[in-house]
Structure 1
Amino acid sequence: MKNKLNLIKKPIALLLCSLLLFVSCGDINDTPNEALIDPANLTSVNSLKLATIGMFKTITSATRRTNSFQNAFGGDDITSSAANNKLRFQTMDKRTFDNSNEDLIWQWGRPYSVIEATNFILENESNIETKSLDEKNQLNLFIGEAYFVRAYFYFELTNNFGKIPLVLSTQLDSKTPKSEIIDVYKQIESDLLKAESLLPNKHPDVSVGIKPNKGSAKAILAKLYMHWAGWPLKGGTDMYKKAATKAKEVINNAGTHGFALVSDMNTLWTEEESERLNSEIVWGAAHAQHVDNHFSNRVTGSVAFPTEAGGWNEIFSEIKYFEDFPAGPRKDATFITEIKIIREDKLLPDGTDRTTPLPLGTIVSWEDLDTGARPMFKKAIGQGDITLINPRNSNTRITSYFMRYSDLLLLYAEAEGRSGGNSPDAWRAINDVRDRAYGVGNHNDDRSAGLAETAFKERKWELGGEFKRWYDLVRMERVESILTANRSPRESIDKVISGWGDLSPNNYFVPIPQEEIDRAPHLAD
């Protein structure tokens, strides 16, 4: 632990560029310069602003690769390739992993690097001198951002690892014990409530949620209460009520916070400047690939293309998920079913040789690819003419959505239902999402499953491929019942790993990586 978490004791290297991570490249006029900020020099609002820029830089670094979302491959929406170098994703998919998985250290260490940056800011709050009301407001903004970000990444850590060390200071103890999950949740709640009180209704620098505002804090609080209600803490009805109440506060003031559904889902996963920073971002990260690839999005692009198209064969839709997905504009915006061959394809789907290999440039269905044939996520590949998208682009500017407004609408409806409510507003929230998914008037407003289960099912389709489904299954303890019932016999990974690992709650969390335990043996307890 100590070696992973003690970097903050040194002067912190910050990349300085006005809103570097959060605006279009056209707004960046100067070449970014590096500067060192020593804690002794963090005494002004301006120096604190530079520290927060550094904090947001670590967020992009921590979330820019699929390594950061490995646990989510356990959901029934996402799978990977049967290739040998994708074993770390295959074992997450089949729940057969152990703590030797080489990428667990990324999922563990990167969030803590963000938390280091937040602790640095919060610990120096009392050193900041404010000379005007404007500077006081700026101080509140930066401190509110730090509380929000720390809460979010502790939420990510505990959702993946369960009991974790709570590090709230830059004065670190290498023997910091793991905290109980309830204590981690209480700390997250405390941080988010502070963020809610300090953050403005809308961020003064950006109009969308790539920097958090008061509505972002309320929305993540609603998500926290939603998970608190379910497994593993099982807070029940009271927590569902809190989740519904907090989510409804955001929805009632969505315009104030700048939140709204975009009319066309196809505009959400694009690199177009006019569309990638949009009103559906409740909390997320923008990317600036052309400034430095360290600010790009590598969860999109090459990772989502098959080998025959020049891609990395890393993230795909499960076949049954694609087959069951309701037809309509949302399905069209979620998947790509044809691809252009740029590497000679010599195999049939059953693994036998083709008599005549498909020539380069051929447009083929996903079903005509090799033994790893799977539908592709347009959310990961990006929007546009598939014959023109560069499959070898491993660094894109597609926005990372940690929470979309549609996610919040459906969370509200589900929480309302699970707390015993059945309000027209909750059904309206579901139907706002459905109207876009199918077209206004093209769905039957089916309510036969009840409010909570209708919203839960709608989340499955709306948020597919966004690393959300696994955590929904976990909080409802439905992993085994869903995974064993919704698997196509054509899934290629099943030819590599036969059968399932432990699908019980005993295996919902991933283990702390062995590399970390070697440094801090007490974490093995």
Structure 2
Amino acid sequence: MKTTYNKKIKSKIRYLLSVVIITSIFQSCADLDEDPTIAQLAPGAYSKIQELELGVTGVHARLNDASWMTTFYAPFWAGDDITTHFGSNKAEFREFDQRQVSQANSRVKNNWEAIYRTIRAANTVISNNEGLILTDPGEIETQTRLIAEVYFLRGVMFFHLARIHGQIPLPLVPDPDQQLGLSDQVTVYEQIESDLLAAESGLPDVYPGVNAGAPRPNSGSARALLARLYLDWAGFPVKDNAKYAEAATSAKQVIDNSAAHNFALLDDLEDLWTLANVFNSESVWTIPYCKSCGQPNRKFGKLGNPSDLAGWQETFAEIRFFEDFPEGPRKEATYRTEHDWENFNDQPTPVFKKIVGPIEDNLAPDFQTDRNDFFIRYAEVLLIYAEASARSGNITAEAWEALNMIRRRAEGLPFNTPNAGVDVTTGDLAELAFTERKWEFAGEYLRWNDLVRMERVEQALSNRTPQTSMNSSGELLPEFNPIKGSLGTDNYFAPIPQREIDLNPSVNN
């Protein structure tokens, strides 16, 4: 009992510090006289705009508490692009990797709890704002933007959790004692849509005073997440094909207004993974971190290396996926191909450059970094447009161009310059775009959801045996974390944590 209490105290201290730290990460926060921890925790309705500002900062602090470790993305180890260590202390990651996830998995439990803390914080801000009547036009504009931002954060948290669990509770008021059951999938999607539409209507084209990459969301960030939502909605489990057209329309809206939102592809994919570019135009929404401020990111650097490279042995690349990956600049930007990984003494698996960083940044000795999370990239918006246009039966030259921009950059070519040797204008555009996503977002915790929405888990995961990778003795390398659980649709979503069922039996479906 004392251990649990101490953990709660430490968590509370970290959160209070986070409220202050997040203010320093965002350039847009106002200078305030009040102690931000006191203002954030004070109950009741807000009486001035500064309290609302601090409340929103508190929601971001909760988000960082939820997202700063790999637990936030642990369920996505299920994809065919990512694996983990075959032993060590990675058993709970292996459960996802091997499709045999226990309700006692602490990664599931901790992620669920942290996301709902963020949602409760958002609900508190929305509730406390209801009595805040302002008369100054500038303050009214700020209030509109801040509340829209909170709706964005709540919608994204619902969305992230729904991608993991499918049906989830949808608390919309700050009552911590609510005993809500699971909402059906369509209701969940409709709530996410409602939150993101509310966000879009109140957010500006560019959030004032922040770095590139929308570390605080703008209206284009919300519309881009809507495009991702509609793409999922059109796939498993709802399979509402009409949503493909909405996904394409939403993505096209972001593309047409990309200059207004300061969104653009980077010329070189390699540049995305450098510390110099943690804020960049390609990130449509960024979760920022700051190591020196005490708010580090613990998903990169050392976590991606085996013990041969003094690594933390957590986030490895799948061998078969690496073997199938087309050669060229994009593969070089995705993996550290200079390593003799086939002969690692620990676990011979390829190393993600996206995780450990380029050699010049020297992130390998540390598991806490200044890397940001690019939650959704402009490249994904382009590929959603290409795929959704095709699946909705509305193939246009612009849809082909969206695909070809990504293909050109993958070959190290200027993405805006047509190239007959790379460009495609015939064939199955939907499948070409789907496959392009496979390579473009390898190691970015997106592949699993693509396999789920297209019901291709069994196709991808039943064929992971390396075909050509051998060690220096000429021995074919094994698959280190073989599948143990079902690859059927009945096993696509993670179970509700047992602790939540114990506390609230109505979530036991």
C-alpha distance in structure 1 between counterparts of 2:74 and 2:162, whole Å:
14
Q: Is the 8 A contact 1:22 1:287 kept in 2?
A: no
Q: What residue ranges of structure 2 are gaps of 5+ in the alignment? A: 6-14, 414-418, 470-475
Taking structure 1 as the reference length, the TM-score comes to 0.86
Superposition pairs of residues 51-200 of structure 1, within 5 angstroms? 51-200=55-204
**Matches for 1:328-347 after TM superposition, within 5 Å:** 328-339=328-339
2:372 alignment counterpart: 399
On the 8 A contact 1:71/1:510 being kept in 2, the answer is: yes
Amino acid at match of 1:370: N
How far apart in 2 are the matches of 1:442 and 1:61?
47
Question: Of 486, 494, 501, which residue of structure 2 is paired with 1:502?
Answer: 486
CA deviation profile, 1:308-367 (whole Å, cap 9, x unmatched): 21111000110111111112211111101345xxxxxxxxxxxxxxxxxxxxxxxxx111
Alignment match, 2:432: 454
**How many residues are matched?**
479
| CA pair 52-177 structure 1, distance change in 2 beyond 3 A | same
1:433 is aligned to: 406
Is the Cα–Cα contact under 8 Å of residues 81 and 442 in structure 2 kept in the other structure? yes
1:177 Cα deviation after fit: 1.3
Task: Find out whether 1:376 has 2:354 as its counterpart.
Answer: no
Q: Cα distance, 1:277 vs. partner? A: 0.7
What residue is the counterpart of 2:279 in the other structure?
277
Residues 16 and 50, structure 1, Cα contact 8 Å, conserved in 2: no
Whichever residue aligns with residue 444 of structure 1, its letter is V
Q: Does 1:42 align with 2:34?
A: no
8 Å contact kept, 2:226–2:247: yes
CA distance, structure 1, for counterparts of residue 430 and residue 325 of structure 2: 19
Q: Please tell me whether the aligned partners of residues 302 and 393 of structure 1 are also in contact (alpha carbons under 8 angstroms).
A: yes
Shift of 1:447: 4.7
- TM-superposed deviation, 1:107: 2.1
Secondary structure at the counterpart of residue 403 of structure 1:
strand
Tell me, what secondary structure is at the counterpart of 2:444? Answer: coil
Conserved 8 A contact 1:371-1:492: no
After superposition, what is the alpha-carbon deviation per residue over 1:473-493, rounded to whole angstroms, capped at 9, x for unaligned?
100001001111243277988
Cα 1:78/1:499, change in 2 over 3 Å: closer
Partner of 1:355: none
What is the CA–CA distance in structure 2 between the aligned matches of 1:18 and 1:297, rounded to whole Å?
A: 13
Q: Give the conservation status (yes or no) of the 8 Å contact 1:16–1:35.
A: no
Q: Following TM superposition, by how much is the alpha carbon of 1:408 offset from its aligned partner in structure 2, in angstroms?
A: 0.8
The answer to whether structure 1 residue 217 and structure 2 residue 219 are counterparts is no
Question: 8 Å contact 1:82–1:492 — kept in the other structure?
Answer: no
Partner amino acid for 1:169?
V
Please say if 1:418 is aligned against 2:396. Answer: no
> How many angstroms apart in 2 are the aligned matches of 1:466 and 1:447?
28
State the alpha-carbon separation in 2 of the partners of residues 434 and 498 from structure 1: 32
**Residue of structure 2 equivalent to 1:290:** 292
The Cα shift of 1:82 comes to 0.7
Q: Aligned letter for 1:189?
A: E
Q: What do residues 405-432 of structure 1 show as CA deviations (whole Å, max 9, x unaligned)?
A: 0011101110001000210101111111
Secondary structure at the residue paired with 2:359?
Answer: coil
CA deviations 1:196-226 (Å, max 9, x no partner) are 1111111112243111100011110111111
Asked whether the equivalents of residues 120 and 176 of structure 2 are also in contact (C-alpha less than 8 Å), the reply is no
Separation in structure 1 between the aligned mates of residue 97 and residue 50 of structure 2, nearest angstrom: 46
For structure 1, the 5+ residue unaligned runs are 4-11, 340-364
Paired with 2:214 and 2:119, the residues of 1 have a C-alpha distance of 19
1:446 to 1:148, Cα distance in 2 relative to 1, 3 A: same
Structure 1 position 367 matched with structure 2 position 351? no
- TM-score after normalising by structure 2: 0.89
1:302 Cα shift? Answer: 1.3
Tell me which moved more, 481-490 or 151-160: 481-490
Q: Is the 8 A contact 2:357 2:363 kept in 1?
A: no
| Counterpart secondary structure, 1:420 | coil
Once the two structures are overlaid, the 10-residue window that deviates more, 150-159 or 59-68, is 59-68
Letter of the aligned partner of 2:177 in structure 1?
D
Q: How much has 1:522 moved relative to structure 2? A: 2.7
Please list the CA deviations of residues 432-457 of structure 1 after superposition, one character each: whole Å capped at 9, or x if unmatched: 11111103348532455411111100
Could you tell me how far 1:162 is from its partner in structure 2? 1.4
Aligned to 2:10: none
Instruction: Provide closer, same or farther for how the CA distance between residues 198 and 87 of structure 1 changes in structure 2, counting only shifts above 3 A.
Output: same
What letter matches 2:459 in structure 1?
A: S
After superposition, the CA RMSD in angstroms is 2.4
Query: Conserved in 2, the CA contact under 8 Å of 1:22 and 1:285?
Result: no
Question: Would you say the 8 A contact 1:302–1:381 is kept in 2?
Answer: yes
Aligned partner of residue 24 in structure 2, secondary structure: coil
Distance in 1 between residues matched to 2:257 and 2:482, nearest whole Å: 50
CA contact (8 A) 2:466 2:479 kept: no
> Given the superposition, is the C-alpha separation of residues 170 and 407 from structure 1 closer, same or farther in structure 2, using an over 3 Å criterion?
same
* Aligned counterparts of 1:498 and 1:126: Cα–Cα separation in 2: 52
Alpha-carbon distance in 2 for matches of 1:296, 1:96: 31
How far did 1:129 drift?
Answer: 2.9
Query: Which amino acid in the other structure matches residue 235 of structure 1?
Result: D
Q: CA deviation at 1:297?
A: 1.0
1:318 maps to 2:302: no
Tell me which residue corresponds to 1:488: 466
Partner Cα distance (1:137, 1:338) in 2: 52
Q: Which amino acid aligns with 1:428?
A: E
The answer on whether the counterparts of 1:174 and 1:520 sit within 8 Å (CA) in structure 2 is no
Q: Cα–Cα, structure 1 residues 261 and 499, in superposed 2: closer, same or farther, change >3 Å?
A: closer
Matched, 1:516 2:494: no
1:283-302 deviations in whole A, cap 9, x for unaligned? 1211111110xx21111011
Q: Give the drift of 1:501.
A: 1.1
Amino acid at match of 1:317: A
1:232 matched to 2:229? The reply is no
Partner of 2:206: 202
Shift of 1:39: 2.7
